[in-house]
Amino acid sequence: MKISEGKKLSELTTFRIGGLARYFVRVEDVSDFKQAFLWAKERGVKLLVLGKGSNCLFDDRGFDGLVILNSIDFCEKAGGEFRVGGGFSFSRLGVISAKEGFGGLEFAASIPGTVGGAVFMNAGACGQETAQVIKEVKHLDLDGDLKTFGKGEMEFGYRTSVFQKMQGAVVSATFSLEESLEAREKQCEKVAYRRATQPLTEPSSGCIFRNPQDKPAGLLIEEAGLKGLTVGGAMISDKHANFIVNKGGASSSDVLTLIDRVKVEVEKHCGIELESEVRVIPYE
């Protein structure tokens, strides 16, 4: 395990925004995680576990601590159960499972995160979500204790889970899927729809706001006339209004200013207060 200094966080997030991490390490198994946690504890250094950084917005100054990149990257199949590492690509898992004739993770294809991130956020799309097909999760806490969580213990909600209340890392997850001859076809349809309606080829963190009960956030933003609104290098996508895209050189402050502008304008327009779902990570 090699801990380095001065890693560019813009290289580790889908937003392509962020300064330098004071310390950085890539871990590939539970033993590495335990060493990294102990290293940070002994030095009084705060830490952050990261997957693909697809729902993160780092400060322009970076992160004054240790960023641990979860690279536990395995995939084991037994019947309809897929046991995968927390650092395994969630999109890749969706494609593999659908190609092998199992349904439940069709939505995962084209979601640019890891399995650990999907569990942490209860990722979802197109009417499906992670909670529907999860069986168990192994989580490592900062003291090095490994605990197995059953489905009923994970407290899943809309883009939430019990793991957001904890410190540590999702090191593996097991998904229980049903056989489906239509899984791959359905998946291709979902991917085609997302590519046609979302700016998947531009740097972003995915959807910025949680959807209110009555109407999707993107539609509210569009109805307020905010598509294309720009602050610095950050812009409300003209393809899908619930995406902020980095048009080049966007800063964290550009994005946060734009988020605040959207909240104000949408509330003026329809009286609904939008709630951001992007994970804003402070420097200190």
- Residue 93: predicted pLDDT: 97
- Residue 217: predicted pLDDT: 97
- Rounded to whole angstroms, the Cα distance separating 45 from 63 reads 11
Instruction: Establish if 136 belongs to a structural domain.
Output: yes
For residues 207 and 174, membership in a common domain is answered with no
Q: Which amino acid is at 278?
A: V
- Residue 73: predicted pLDDT: 96
- Residue 122: predicted pLDDT: 95
- Residue 95: predicted pLDDT: 96
Domain that holds residue 228: 199-281
What's the CATH code of the domain at 130?
A: 3.30.465.10
For residues 80 and 40, membership in a common domain is answered with no
| 195 catalytically annotated | no
Output phi, psi for 243, to 5 deg: -115, 135
Instruction: Establish if 194 belongs to a structural domain.
Output: no
End-to-end CA distance of the chain: 24
Biggest CA-to-CA distance, the chain: 53
| 277 catalytically annotated | yes
For residues 203 and 155, membership in a common domain is answered with no
Q: Which of 16, 26, 159, 184 is catalytic?
A: 159
CB 267 within 8 A of CB 221: no
Instruction: Establish if 189 belongs to a structural domain.
Output: no
CB 65 within 8 A of CB 23: yes
For residues 225 and 248, membership in a common domain is answered with yes
For residues 46 and 108, membership in a common domain is answered with no
Q: Which amino acid is at 3?
A: I
Q: Taking the alpha carbons of 267, 272, 278, 282 in that order, is the dihedral positive or negative?
A: positive
For residues 175 and 88, membership in a common domain is answered with yes
DSSP characters for the chain?
A: ---EEEEEGGGSSTT----EEEEEEEE-SHHHHHHHHHHHHHHT--EEEESS-TTEEEBTTEEEEEEEEE----EEEETTEEEEETTSBHHHHHHHHHHTTEES-GGGTT--SBHHHHHHHT-EETTEEGGGTEEEEEEEETTS-EEEEEGGGS--BTTB-GGGGS-EEEEEEEEE-EE-TTHHHHHHHHHHHHHHHS-TTS-EEEE-BPPPSSS-HHHHHHHTT-TT-EETTEEE-SS-TTEEEE-SS--HHHHHHHHHHHHHHHHHHHS----B-SEEE---
Q: Which of 50, 70, 90 is the last residue of a domain?
A: 70
CB 58 within 8 A of CB 9: yes
Does this model's pTM top 0.85?
A: yes
- Residue 126: predicted pLDDT: 80
For residues 89 and 173, membership in a common domain is answered with yes
Give residues with Cβ within 8 angstroms of 131, minimum separation 6.
Answer: 122, 151, 154, 156, 161
For residues 90 and 170, membership in a common domain is answered with yes
For residues 30 and 47, membership in a common domain is answered with yes
- pLDDT tens string, the chain, 284 residues long: the values are 799 999 999 999 999 999 999 999 999 999 999 999 999 999 999 999 999 999 999 999 999 999 999 999 999 999 999 999 999 999 999 999 999 999 999 999 989 999 999 999 999 888 889 999 999 999 999 999 999 999 999 999 999 999 999 999 999 999 999 999 999 999 999 999 999 999 999 999 999 999 998 899 999 999 999 999 999 999 999 999 999 999 999 999 999 999 999 999 999 999 999 999 999 999 98
For residues 84 and 177, membership in a common domain is answered with yes
What's the CATH code of the domain at 277?
A: 3.90.78.10
Q: Which of 70, 92, 122 is the last residue of a domain?
A: 70
Neighbours of 267 (CB within 10 A): 14
- Residue 58: predicted pLDDT: 97
Instruction: Establish if 223 belongs to a structural domain.
Output: yes
- Residue 127: predicted pLDDT: 83
- Residue 14: predicted pLDDT: 96
For residues 204 and 177, membership in a common domain is answered with no
DSSP characters for 4-33?
A: EEEEEGGGSSTT----EEEEEEEE-SHHHH
Q: Which of 207, 261, 275, 284 is catalytic?
A: 207
Instruction: Establish if 188 belongs to a structural domain.
Output: no
| 270 catalytically annotated | no
User: How many structural domains does the chain have?
Assistant: 3
Instruction: Establish if 266 belongs to a structural domain.
Output: yes
Residue 172, both tokens: 């593996």
Instruction: Establish if 119 belongs to a structural domain.
Output: yes
Instruction: Establish if 93 belongs to a structural domain.
Output: yes
Q: Which of 156, 183, 210 is the last residue of a domain?
A: 183
For residues 83 and 173, membership in a common domain is answered with yes
Residue 124, both tokens: 């979802």
